[in-house]
C-alpha cells in the first residue's frame, strides 16, 4: 500500500469557553474574567484591556467569580476589621476548572500584587469528563458535576466543607443553580435522543423533580418566568415548573445555540403564582448557529406563555457564550475566541443593539515556525496584542521549570512527608545525606525546627505515610521510627524498632496494605503496619536470604496478589518474590546492564539501567511463571505522566534520560549535574511539583509540557528560523502617536532566547513577509524581507553574522505593485506581487530578475510542489504557473501548502483539506495536464493559513519529510505527516475500528458529526485525532486491534500480520499517540 498521511491536532484551540463578570476585591474593581485556552484572563470592561493573565497547566473550561465568606477564617485582623466596616464579610476569588477536572481558586495576594493559585479539588477525584461547574451570584457555594452525574458541592467559607452526591446519567449535558439549595441537571439516560431533567435539593440530598422529554436539549436557564425554567435544543424552547410539574413548548425553533436572560420584571421575581405573572414578561437573548442574535419576549396570552422574537444583530461566527455584563449589556463570545459587547435598548416592544466594544482572540496566532536541530525541534507561535504580545515555544518533551532552589550540599535522598489533605505537613520533605537528616519546608523554602524530637536525625533510607494506619514510618540505617498524627494534628513518636538484620540499605512500602520491605546486604525482611484502637502498630515479619546484595525493591500487584521485584548490585536479573510467603516465585532477565530503577504499574513494569536504557515487560504471568514479552524503549522519548497511588513516574530526556519514581534514588542527569534523588510534593500554590536533588543543591519546580513564553511587549506578526545561525527573527508592530505604526525586526538566539539584534523599519514601511534560504552556488543562508510602502513594495536581502551580532544589508529592489508573499525554492527567491510573480537570483552581490510570470491580481498565496509554483487567491481558483492555465482547480482555496514531495493540499470553503497529485505532463513539460484528486479530510474549523516547514515529529513509522501545519481561526494548530507504507494500513484499520467503537457509545453531537464526516470520505488522509484522544491503555488498544477483521490484517506486512505481533503494534500505537500529544 502507498503511504498515507496522518492529520492530527498538535495544539488545542484557544477559544473562550466560559466567563464571568463581577467585582474583584483584590483589584477593587468590576472585571471580566474569561477562560481562554490555558489561561484565565482578567479584562477591564471600560477599555477591554487585559489587566492580568492567570496561567494554568491545563486547558480551562470554566472561570467564575465566587464569593469567599471569611467570617470564620484566619485572615489578617486589620483586613477583617476593614471589611466589616465596609460591610464586606469576605472577598471575591476566581475559580477555574480544567478539562481534566482540576478545580482551583485564585486569590489576590496584596503583598506581591498577584493572584496566587490554590488547589480546591484534585482531578483524581473529579470523576469522568467532561465536567460542569455551576455557581450562584453572591453565594459561596459552587458545584462540580461529572458526565455521569457525580457532583460535589463546595462552600468556600468553610475550606474543608463539601458535599458529594450521585444521580445516575448516561451523559450530563448542562447544570445550573436555581437557588443555593436547588440545582438543575440536564442530561441523557441511555437514549441520547431523549432528555431527562432533574431538580436536586442539595440540603436534603434528594431528587425532588424528574421528567423525561422526547427531544434533545443542550442548555437549561433557571427562573425565566417565576418558578418556570427554560430549556433550548432540538425540542425548541420549553418552559417547565418543578413545583406544579407543568411544562409547555413555547417555540419549535431548533436553530438556537445559546440563551441568556436579558431583562426580567422585578415583579416576576417577587410573585410565584401564575395569576401574579399574567401581566409580567421576561426578555431572553437567543443566539442562532448562523450568528443571528434574537430577543425573545416571553409573556402570557390568557393562561398560556408565549414568546415573540425580534432579530437584534448578526455576528460573524456561531456564538458560544452570552455573558451578562450588567443591565442591558451583553458580551457575545464567538467560536473563534473573538467577542463583541452590545448595549441593548428597549423601547416598548422594539429592541435595538449598539456595539460598544470588542475583544480580539488574545492568543490569536499570527505565524508559526519550527526551530532547533535534529530531533530536539520545537514549534514557535507568535500571538498576543501590544503589551501581551509574546512567542510561545512548544516542545514535545517534558520541561522542568524551576520555581525556586536551595544550595544544600551533599544531599543523597529526599522523601515527601504526605499526610491528610489540607495538612501543613504536606509541605515538608525529609532530606538526607550520609551523615544526618533534616526537615525542609518547601513552601517557605527553608529548614524547619518542627519535628526535631519526632524524626530521627540519622541518615534516612525511606519515609512512608500510611494513611489508613494514621502513621508515618521513618526508616534509617539503624531501624524504624513510628510516628502518629494526634487528634490535635501534631506528630508524636510512638515506637522505635531496631534493625535485626544489620544496617538497612533499601526500603519500599505498599501503602494500601501497610507493608514494608527492608533489605541489608542480601537479606530481605517484611514489616506490617496495622492500627489497633486508633493506635498504629508495626510488626516484624519473615526474613529471607536472596542470591546477591540487594539494590532495588519495587512492589507489583497481579491477580489480587502482591509481589516484590528485587534488583541486585552485581546482577542483571530481576527476582520476583511473593510478599505474603516471602518465597521466590520466578525471575526476569532484561537485556540491560545492572538495573538502577524499576517502576511497576498494573499492566507492565519498566527496568532502567545505568546507561538510561529502558526495557518494558508486559503480558507476563507470575502464577504461571511466564516472563511474557518485552520491548526496548528508545532513550529520548517523552512519555506521559503515570500516577499510581502516591507514586509518580515521569519519563523524559530534556537533557538526558530521567525516569523518576517518588521515594526512589535514581542517579540520572538534569543538565550537566548528576541527580542523586528525585521526589514529588503537592503544593497548594503550585500543585504537583518535582524535587530534584544534585550535588549542587535542591530544585523545586513543575515538570510538564507547558510552553515557554517569551514576552515581546509588542504585537508579533511574523516569525522565521534560520538554521545556520540558529536564530529566531521576529517582526513586531507598535503604534507611535507621532509616527504611526512602526515595525521592528528583532533577532533572538534559539538556545536561550536572548536578544542579539534589533532595528526598526523607517516610518511608513511595513513588513509583509519574511523568509530565509539559500541562493544557487552560495553557502550563506540569507534573510529576505518583503515590505510595503503605501501601494508599492520593497525587497531587502540581508545577512546576519552571529559572531559580531550584526545585520548586513546585501541588496534591495523596489516594485510599483503591492507585495503579497515570497518563498525560497531551488536556489532562487520567488516574490508574488499583485498580478505577477518574479523569480530572483543573487550573484556577486547583485539581485537579478530571472523570470516574470503573470497571475490574477487577487492571488496572494504561493507554494511549491515538484518544483512547480502554485498560487491561490480569494476570488480565483488555484493556478499552476507554467501549465498554460490548464492545471487550475475549479474551486477557491482558503489556504494551500505542499503536503509532501509529490502531493499538494488546499482547504476549501467547507473546511475540507483536499489533496491532489500533479501528473507527469505538468511536472515534466509544463504543458496541458491535470491535477489528480486524492480525496478530502474534514477539518471542521476555518483555516487562517497553512505552511510547510521542517520536520517536527520523528519516529520509525514516520517518513523523513517536511511536514505541513495549519492554523485555525479558533487558535488550534494541526499538522500533516507522512506515514511509512509499512505502517499506513495498520494505523488506518486501527483508527477505523476505534472510531466505530466510540460511535457505538454516547458521545457529543459535534464529535459524532466529525466522525461521520471523516469516515464517509475516501482519501489518503487518516484521522489522527481518534488515536490522540483514546486513553493510553495497552489493554484498550489491544482490544481495538483484535476487533479488526482478519481479512484486513492479512493485508499488512508479513511481520505485522501475525497474531504474536499484536503486542508490538499496541506499544507502537501508544508511542504514536505520545507523538500526537506532545504539547
Q: 317-338: per-residue pLDDT in tens?
A: 788 888 888 778 888 887 777 7
| 454 within a domain of the structure (yes/no) | yes
DSSP category for residue 668: -
- Whole-angstrom distance, CA of residue 847 vs CA of residue 911: 40
By residue range, what is the domain housing residue 558? 399-704
| Nearest residue to 175 (alpha-carbon basis) of 155, 147, 194, 138 | 147
- Of 675, 704, 733, which marks where a domain is finished? 704
| 916 within a domain of the structure (yes/no) | no
Q: What pLDDT is recorded for position 535?
A: 86
Could you give the angle at which helices 1062-1076 and 1034-1042 cross, rounded to 10 degrees? 120
Q: What pLDDT is recorded for position 758?
A: 94
Distances from the Cα of 220 to the Cα of 184, 186, 321, 574, 733, angstroms: 8, 7, 13, 58, 44
| 135 within a domain of the structure (yes/no) | no
- 562-612 tens-digit pLDDT: 999 999 988 888 999 999 999 999 999 888 888 888 878 777 888 887 776
Average pLDDT over all residues of the chain: 81
Q: What is the pLDDT averaged over residues 152-170?
A: 72
- Whole-angstrom distance, CA of residue 846 vs CA of residue 164: 75
Look at residue 423 and tell me whether its pLDDT is greater than 70.
no
| 554 within a domain of the structure (yes/no) | yes
The pLDDT confidence band at residue 1061, using thresholds 50, 70 and 90, is: confident
| 904 within a domain of the structure (yes/no) | no
Look at residue 756 and tell me whether its pLDDT is greater than 90.
yes
- Of 668, 688, 704, which marks where a domain is finished? 704
| 480 within a domain of the structure (yes/no) | yes
Distances from the Cα of 248 to the Cα of 113, 229, 276, 303, 715, angstroms: 51, 11, 18, 11, 52
Query: Which residues fall within 8 angstroms of residue 66, CB to CB, at 6 or more apart?
Result: 92, 93, 94, 95, 105, 135, 139, 140, 142, 156
| 164 within a domain of the structure (yes/no) | no
Contact 798, 809 (CB under 8 A): yes
Overall number of domains in the chain: 2
Count of alpha carbons within 13 angstroms of residue 889, beta-carbon side? 25
Q: What pLDDT is recorded for position 885?
A: 46
- 189-246 tens-digit pLDDT: 766 678 999 999 888 888 999 999 988 898 999 998 888 999 998 889 999 999 988 8
DSSP β-bridge partners for residue 621: 626
- Least confident window among 312-316, 449-453, 749-753: 449-453
Greatest Cα-to-Cα distance within the chain, rounded to the nearest angstrom: 93
Q: What pLDDT is recorded for position 72?
A: 43
Look at residue 1015 and tell me whether its pLDDT is greater than 80.
no
- Whole-angstrom distance, CA of residue 1001 vs CA of residue 1007: 11
- Whole-angstrom distance, CA of residue 335 vs CA of residue 766: 30
Q: What pLDDT is recorded for position 114?
A: 85
Q: What pLDDT is recorded for position 660?
A: 34
Q: What is the pLDDT averaged over residues 979-1002?
A: 82
Strands (E) in 315-427, as ranges, are 319-324, 329-334, 339-347, 350-359, 365-371, 378-383, 390-394, 399-406, 413-416
Q: What is the pLDDT averaged over residues 613-640?
A: 72
Which percentage of the chain shows pLDDT scores above 90? 27
Residue at grid coordinates 483484535: 1042
Q: What pLDDT is recorded for position 240?
A: 93
- Of 670, 704, 738, which marks where a domain is finished? 704
| 796 within a domain of the structure (yes/no) | no
CATH number of the CATH domain containing 675: 2.130.10.10
Look at residue 669 and tell me whether its pLDDT is greater than 50.
no
Long-range contacts of 195-204 (CB under 8 A, 24+ apart): 195/231, 195/233, 195/235, 196/169, 197/231, 197/240, 198/167, 199/242, 200/165, 200/167, 202/141, 202/143, 202/153, 202/163, 202/165
Q: What is the pLDDT averaged over residues 85-89?
A: 40
- Whole-angstrom distance, CA of residue 159 vs CA of residue 105: 11
Q: What pLDDT is recorded for position 512?
A: 81
Interior/surface letters 867-883, b for 16+ CB within 10 angstroms, e for the rest: ebbbbbbeebebbbbeb
Q: What pLDDT is recorded for position 640?
A: 32
Q: What pLDDT is recorded for position 731?
A: 95
Q: What is the pLDDT averaged over residues 724-730?
A: 95
Distances from the Cα of 427 to the Cα of 35, 106, 134, 447, 658, angstroms: 29, 19, 31, 11, 24
Contact 169, 83 (CB under 8 A): no
Q: What pLDDT is recorded for position 565?
A: 93
Look at residue 926 and tell me whether its pLDDT is greater than 60.
no
Phi-psi region of 686 (alpha: psi -120 to 50; beta: other; left: phi over 0): alpha
Amino acid at each position: 500500500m502507498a503511504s498515507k498521511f496522518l492529520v492530527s491536532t498538535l495544539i488545542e484551540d484557544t477559544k473562550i469557553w466560559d466567563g464571568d463578570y463581577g467585582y474583584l476585591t483584590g483589584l477593587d474593581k468590576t472585571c471580566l474574567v474569561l477562560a481562554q485556552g490555558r489561561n484565565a484572563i482578567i479584562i477591564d470592561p471600560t477599555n477591554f484591556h487585559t489587566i492580568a493573565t492567570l496561567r494554568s497547566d491545563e486547558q480551562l473550561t470554566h472561570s467564575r467569580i465566587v464569593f469567599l465568606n471569611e467570617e470564620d477564617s484566619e485572615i489578617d485582623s486589620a483586613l477583617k476589621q476593614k471589611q466589616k466596616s465596609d460591610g464586606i464579610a469576605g472577598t471575591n476569588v476566581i475559580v477555574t476548572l480544567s478539562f481534566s477536572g482540576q478545580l482551583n481558586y485564585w486569590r489576590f495576594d496584596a503583598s506581591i500584587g498577584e493572584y496566587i493559585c490554590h488547589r480546591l479539588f484534585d482531578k483524581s477525584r473529579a470523576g469522568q469528563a467532561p465536567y460542569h461547574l455551576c455557581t450562584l451570584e453572591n453565594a459561596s457555594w459552587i458545584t462540580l458535576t461529572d458526565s455521569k452525574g457525580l457532583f460535589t458541592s463546595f462552600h468556600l467559607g468553610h475550606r474543608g466543607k463539601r458535599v458529594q452526591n450521585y444521580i445516575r446519567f448516561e451523559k450530563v449535558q448542562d447544570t445550573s443553580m436555581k437557588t443555593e439549595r436547588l440545582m438543575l441537571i440536564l442530561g441523557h439516560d441511555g437514549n441520547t435522543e431523549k432528555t431527562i431533567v432533574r431538580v436536586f435539593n442539595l440540603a436534603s440530598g434528594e431528587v425532588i423533580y424528574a421528567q423525561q422529554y422526547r427531544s434533545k436539549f443542550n442548555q437549561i436557564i433557571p427562573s425565566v418566568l417565576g418558578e418556570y425554567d427554560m430549556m433550548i435544543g432540538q425540542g425548541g424552547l420549553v418552559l417547565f415548573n418543578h413545583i406544579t410539574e407543568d411544562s409547555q413548548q413555547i417555540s419549535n425553533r431548533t436553530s438556537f445555540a445559546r440563551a441568556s436572560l436579558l431583562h426580567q420584571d422585578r415583579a416576576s421575581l417577587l410573585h410565584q403564582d401564575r395569576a401574579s405573572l399574567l401581566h409580567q414578561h421576561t426578555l431572553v437573548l437567543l443566539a442562532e448557529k448562523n450568528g443571528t442574535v434574537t430577543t425573545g419576549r416571553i409573556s402570557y396570552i390568557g393562561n398560556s406563555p408565549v414568546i415573540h422574537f425580534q432579530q437584534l444583530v448578526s455576528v460573524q461566527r456561531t456564538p458560544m457564550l452570552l455573558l451578562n455584563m450588567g443591565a442591558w449589556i451583553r458580551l457575545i463570545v464567538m467560536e473563534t475566541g473573538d467577542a463583541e459587547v452590545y448595549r441593548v435598548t428597549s423601547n416598548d416592544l422594539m429592541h435595538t443593539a449598539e456595539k460598544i466594544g470588542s475583544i480580539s482572540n488574545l492568543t490569536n496566532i499570527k505565524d508559526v515556525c519550527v526551530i532547533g536541530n535534529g530531533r530536539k525541534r520545537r514549534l514557535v507561535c507568535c500571538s498576543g496584542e501590544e503589551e501581551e504580545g509574546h512567542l510561545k515555544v512548544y516542545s514535545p518533551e517534558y520541561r522542568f521549570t524551576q520555581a525556586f532552589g536551595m544550595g544544600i550540599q551533599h544531599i543523597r535522598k529526599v522523601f515527601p512527608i504526605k499526610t491528610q489533605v489540607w495538612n501543613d505537613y504536606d509541605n515538608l520533605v525529609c532530606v538526607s545525606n550520609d551523615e544526618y537528616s533534616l526537615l525542609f519546608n518547601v513552601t517557605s523554602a527553608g529548614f524547619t525546627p518542627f519535628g526535631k524530637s519526632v524524626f530521627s536525625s540519622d541518615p534516612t533510607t525511606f519515609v512512608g505515610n500510611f494513611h489508613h494506619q494514621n502513621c508515618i514510618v521513618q526508616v534509617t540505617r539503624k531501624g524504624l521510627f513510628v510516628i502518629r498524627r494526634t487528634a490535635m494534628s501534631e506528630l508524636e513518636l510512638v515506637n522505635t524498632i531496631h534493625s535485626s538484620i544489620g544496617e538497612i540499605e533499601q526500603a519500599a512500602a505498599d501503602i494500601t496494605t501497610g507493608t514494608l520491605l527492608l533489605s541489608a546486604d542480601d537479606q530481605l525482611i517484611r514489616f506490617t503496619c496495622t492500627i489497633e484502637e486508633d493506635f498504629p502498630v508495626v510488626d516484624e515479619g519473615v526474613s529471607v536470604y536472596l542470591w546477591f546484595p540487594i539494590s532495588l525493591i519495587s512492589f507489583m500487584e497481579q491477580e489480587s496478589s502482591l509481589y516484590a521485584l528485587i534488583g541486585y548490585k552485581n546482577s542483571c536479573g530481576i527476582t520476583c518474590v511473593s510478599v505474603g510467603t516471602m518465597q521466590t516465585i520466578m525471575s526476569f532477565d532484561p537485556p540491560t546492564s545492572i538495573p538502577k530503577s524499576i517502576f511497576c504499574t498494573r499492566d507492565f513494569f519498566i527496568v532502567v539501567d545505568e546507561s538510561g536504557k529502558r526495557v518494558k515487560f508486559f503480558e507476563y504471568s507470575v502464577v504461571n511463571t511466564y516472563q511474557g514479552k518485552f520491548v526496548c524503549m528508545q532513550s529520548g522519548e517523552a512519555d506521559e505522566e503515570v500516577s499510581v497511588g502516591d507514586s509518580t513516574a515521569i519519563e523524559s530526556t530534556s537533557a538526558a534520560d530521567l525516569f523518576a519514581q517518588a521515594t526512589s534514588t535514581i542517579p540520572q542527569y538534569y543538565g550537566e549535574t548528576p541527580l542523586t534523588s528525585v521526589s514529588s510534593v503537592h503544593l497548594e500554590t503550585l500543585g504537583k511539583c518535582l524535587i530534584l536533588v544534585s550535588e549542587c543543591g535542591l530544585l523545586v519546580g513543575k515538570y510538564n509540557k507547558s510552553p515557554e513564553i517569551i514576552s515581546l511587549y509588542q504585537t508579533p506578526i511574523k516569525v522565521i528560523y534560520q538554521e545556520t545561525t540558529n536564530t529566531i527573527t521576529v517582526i513586531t508592530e507598535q503604534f507611535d502617536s507621532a509616527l504611526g505604526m512602526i515595525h521592528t525586526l528583532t533577532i533572538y538566539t534559539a538556545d536561550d532566547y536572548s536578544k542579539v539584534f534589533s532595528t526598526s523599519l523607517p516610518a511608513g514601511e511595513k513588513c509583509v513577509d519574511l523568509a530565509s534560504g539559500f541562493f544557487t552556488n552560495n553557502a550563506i543562508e540569507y534573510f529576505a524581507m518583503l515590505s510595503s510602502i503605501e501601494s508599492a513594495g520593497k525587497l531587502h536581502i540581508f545577512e546576519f553574522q552571529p559572531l559580531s551580532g550584526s545585520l548586513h544589508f546585501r541588496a534591495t529592489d523596489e516594485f510599483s505593485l503591492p507585495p503579497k508573499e515570497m518563498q525560497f525554492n531551488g536556489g532562487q527567491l520567488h516574490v508574488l506581487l499583485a498580478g505577477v510573480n518574479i523569480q530572483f537570483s543573487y550573484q556577486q552581490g547583485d539581485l537579478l530578475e530571472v523570470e516574470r510570470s503573470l497571475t490574477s491580481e487577487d492571488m496572494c498565496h504561493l507554494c511549491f510542489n515538484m518544483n512547480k509554483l502554485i498560487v491561490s487567491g480569494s476570488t480565483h481558483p488555484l493556478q499552476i504557473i507554467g501549465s498554460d492555465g490548464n492545471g487550475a482547480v475549479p474551486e477557491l482555496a482558503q489556504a494551500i501548502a505542499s503536503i509532501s514531495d509529490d502531493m499538494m493540499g488546499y482547504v476549501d470553503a467547507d473546511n475540507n483539506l483536499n489533496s491532489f497529485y500533479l501528473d507527469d505532463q505538468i511536472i515534466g513539460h509544463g504543458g496541458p495536464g491535470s491535477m489528480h484528486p486524492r480525496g478530502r479530510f474534514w477539518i471542521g474549523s476555518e483555516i487562517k493559513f497553512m505552511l510547510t516547514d521542517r520536520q517536527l515529529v520523528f519516529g520509525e513509522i514516520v517518513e523523513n519529510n517536511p511536514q505541513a501545519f495549519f492554523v485555525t481561526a479558533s487558535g488550534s494548530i494541526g499538522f500533516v505527516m507522512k506515514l511509512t507504507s509499512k505502517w499506513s494500513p495498520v494505523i488506518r484499520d486501527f483508527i477505523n475500528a476505534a472510531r466505530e467503537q466510540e460511535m457505538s457509545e454516547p458521545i457529543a453531537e459535534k464529535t459524532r458529526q466529525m466522525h461521520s464526516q471523516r469516515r464517509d470520505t475516501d482519501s489518503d488522509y487518516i484521522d489522527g485525532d481518534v488515536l490522540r484522544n483514546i486513553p493510553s491503555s495497552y489493554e484498550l488498544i489491544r482490544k481495538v486491534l483484535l476487533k479488526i477483521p482478519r481479512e484486513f490484517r492479512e493485508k499488512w506486512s508479513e511481520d505485522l500480520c501475525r497474531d504474536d505481533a499484536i503486542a508490538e503494534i499496541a506499544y507502537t500505537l501508544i508511542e504514536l499517540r505520545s507523538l500526537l500529544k506532545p504539547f
